[in-house]
């Protein structure tokens, strides 16, 4: 069937849950910009599929993290790289957008380029953390892509100096529902009294993180419950981790509430007085939600040794990085001990943290102050027009 010249065909590739959410918002914004004259193909999860994408293969095949976690699945990942690059060649989209997952995305981009002439324009969404480690990657990314969309205001110069078109489009966390919360209703539904203190316990999105950091956070929660047996614990998590989370928390002598509905996550945050969190995007989400917290993390020992030699930033939490000060206490690797974390929780300066969070929210809004997905969609359409 001949291709409709009025329809723009865009290939999107996401490799994990956070990328699936980004893709969903971006697809919706692109539809608005194109007034419906757009077709989506590629790889994504349920959120992107809800916007009309039929995924080439299950996104979960790519959802692995860490050097030694990837090795057992390396053959499947290599197969998926070839399958994706072949698919792009066959479908000849007007533009390819890879979303985060740099280990997979960059290899696909490289493979597509190796195939010869007719390479579509390629844009990457979520700049790799060249400011944190391996700054030499900026030059490599510039050789693979025509444009890159950045979540933080300090990122574009790293890529622009390598000749890559880069734009700070704002952080997607700002359109994830933080301004449409109902913590009071959630408390009522869960049977939490209005005057009760609520501790959030967030174990991360991956089984490996849960196995390594989960017992530490559970032990911290146990210490805090011992000091206040009226404490309620709210733990938003993913359905595939629910059983393990419940097993970790069931021995605590307090009311436990495990919430697995994704749309209730921000309501959970609104119901919390403070939180313990595995380091990751959730730390920034808690900051946007104005929840005082600490973070903890333990990587695979060998992975941690390799990364430690490459890291160039002082902090792990993005709030601390953006403000260049330790507003949120961090307990990483050897410091990830229940006694230290519990002590920090008891000494949290909530007023100071909330002041820091307010400054960070201002820094994340993007250049035009529109929602991030709209800013990203406009950047993408500009890339398509340039190549037309």
Tokens encoding 30: 């692109």
Residue 169 φ then ψ, to 5° = -100, 0
The DSSP secondary-structure symbol of 24 reads: H
Please give the residue that has the higher pLDDT: either 2 or 197: 197
User: Average pLDDT, stretch 291-303?
Assistant: 88
**pLDDT attached to residue 253:** 94
pLDDT band at 68 (very low <50, low <70, confident <90, very high): very low
199 bridge partner residues: 233, 274
Buried-state track 243-271, b at ≥16 Cβ within 10 A, e below 16: eebeebbeebebbbbbbeebebbbbbbbb
How far is the CA of 76 from the CAs of 63, 73, 290, in angstroms?
12, 6, 41
Asked whether 176 and 187 are in contact (CB, 8 A), the reply is no
Question: What is the distance, to the nearest Å, from the Cα of residue 153 to the centroid of all Cα atoms in its chain?
Answer: 17
The better pLDDT of the pair 377, 3 is held by 377
Mapping DSSP onto H, E and C, the string for 43-72 reads: ECCHHHHCCCCCCCCCHHHHCCCCHHHHHH
Instruction: Measure the CA–CA gap between 187 and 162, rounded to whole angstroms.
Output: 50
Please report the pLDDT score of residue 256 as a whole number.
97
Pair 289, 265: CB distance under 8 Å: no
Express each pLDDT in 242-257 by its tens digit: 999 999 999 999 999 9
What does 280-300 look like in DSSP terms, one character per residue?
A: SHHHHHHHHTT--EEEEE---
Give the model's pLDDT for residue 116: 66
Kindly report, residue by residue over 234-292, the tens digit of the pLDDT.
999 988 899 999 999 999 999 999 999 988 999 999 999 999 999 988 999 999 999 99
pLDDT at 2: 59
pLDDT value, residue 3: 66
Nearest Cα to Cα of residue 98 among 198, 180, 11: 11
Average pLDDT over residues 56-63: 86
Q: Residue 387 — very low, low, confident or very high, per pLDDT cuts 50/70/90?
A: low
Q: How many CB atoms lie within 10 A of CB 346?
A: 10
Radius of gyration of the chain (CA): 21
Determine the pLDDT at residue 66. 46
Q: Please give the sequence-ordered ranges of beta strands (E in DSSP) within the chain, or none if there are none.
A: 8-14, 38-43, 95-99, 121-125, 147-150, 165-168, 198-202, 232-236, 255-259, 274-278, 293-297, 330-332
**What confidence tier does 329 reach under pLDDT thresholds 50, 70, 90?**
very high
Task: Quickly state the pLDDT bin for 77 (edges 50, 70, 90).
Answer: confident
Instruction: Read off the pLDDT of residues 179-226 as tens digits, 9 standing for 90 and up.
Output: 889 999 999 999 999 999 999 999 998 888 899 999 999 999 999 999
The domains found in the chain, sorted by start residue, are 8-170+366-387 (3.40.50.2000), 183-363 (3.40.50.2000)
Q: Is the pLDDT at 63 greater than 70, yes or no?
A: no
User: Residue 65: its pLDDT value, please?
Assistant: 47
73-82, 130-139, 334-343: which has the minimum mean pLDDT? 73-82
Of the candidate ranges 81-95, 214-228, 294-308, 374-388, the one whose mean pLDDT is the lowest: 294-308
pLDDT at 117: 66
DSSP class of residue 237 equals -
Q: What is the pLDDT of residue 301?
A: 74
Predicted local distance difference test score (pLDDT) of residue 36: 75
- Kindly report, residue by residue over 112-127, the tens digit of the pLDDT: 988 766 789 999 999 9
Greater model confidence, 337 or 206 = 337
Q: Work out the mean pLDDT of the chain and round it to a whole number.
A: 91
Residue scoring higher pLDDT (232 or 177): 232
- Quick: pLDDT tens for 86-103: 999 999 999 999 999 998
Q: Determine the average pLDDT of the residues in 318-344.
A: 96
């Amino acid at each position: 069937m001949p291709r409709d010249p009025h329809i723009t065909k865009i290939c999107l590739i996401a490799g994990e849950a956070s990328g699936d959410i980004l893709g969903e918002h971006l697809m919706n914004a692109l539809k608005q910009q194109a007034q419906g004259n757009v077709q989506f193909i590629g790889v994504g999860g349920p959120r992107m599929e809800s916007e009309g994408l039929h995924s080439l293969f299950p996104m979960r095949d790519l959802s692995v993290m860490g050097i030694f976690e990837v090795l057992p699945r390396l053959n499947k990942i290599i197969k998926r790289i070839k399958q994706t690059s072949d698919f792009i060649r066959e479908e000849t989209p007007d533009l390819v957008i890879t979303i985060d997952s740099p280990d997979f995305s960059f290899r696909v981009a490289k493979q597509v380029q190796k195939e010869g002439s007719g390479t579509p324009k390629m844009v990457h969404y979520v700049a790799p953390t060249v400011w944190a480690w391996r700054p030499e990657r900026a030059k490599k990314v510039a050789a693979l892509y025509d444009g890159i969309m950045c979540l933080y205001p300090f990122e574009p110069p790293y890529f622009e100096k390598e000749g890559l078109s880069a734009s700070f489009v704002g952080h997607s966390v700002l359109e994830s529902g933080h301004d449409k919360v109902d913590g009071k209703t959630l408390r009522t539904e869960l049977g939490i009294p209005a005057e009760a203190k609520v501790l959030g316990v967030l174990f991360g999105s991956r089984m490996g993180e849960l196995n390594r950091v989960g017992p530490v956070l559970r032990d911290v929660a146990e210490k805090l419950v011992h000091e206040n047996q009226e404490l309620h614990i709210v733990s938003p998590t993913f359905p595939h981790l629910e059983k393990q989370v419940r097993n970790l928390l069931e021995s605590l002598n307090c009311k436990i509430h495990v919430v697995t509905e994704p749309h209730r996550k921000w309501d959970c945050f609104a119901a919390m007085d403070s939180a313990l969190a595995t380091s990751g995007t959730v730390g920034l989400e808690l900051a946007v939600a104005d929840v005082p917290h600490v973070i903890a993390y333990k990587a695979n020992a060998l992975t941690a040794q390799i990364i430690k030699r490459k890291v160039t930033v002082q902090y792990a939490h993005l709030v601390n990085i953006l403000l260049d000060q330790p507003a949120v206490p961090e307990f990483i690797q050897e410091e990830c001990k229940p006694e230290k974390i519990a002590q920090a929780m008891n000494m949290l300066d909530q007023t100071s943290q909330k002041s820091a969070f307010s400054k960070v929210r201002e820094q994340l809004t993007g250049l035009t102050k529109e929602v991030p997905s709209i800013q990203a969609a406009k950047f993408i359409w500009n890339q398509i027009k340039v190549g037309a």
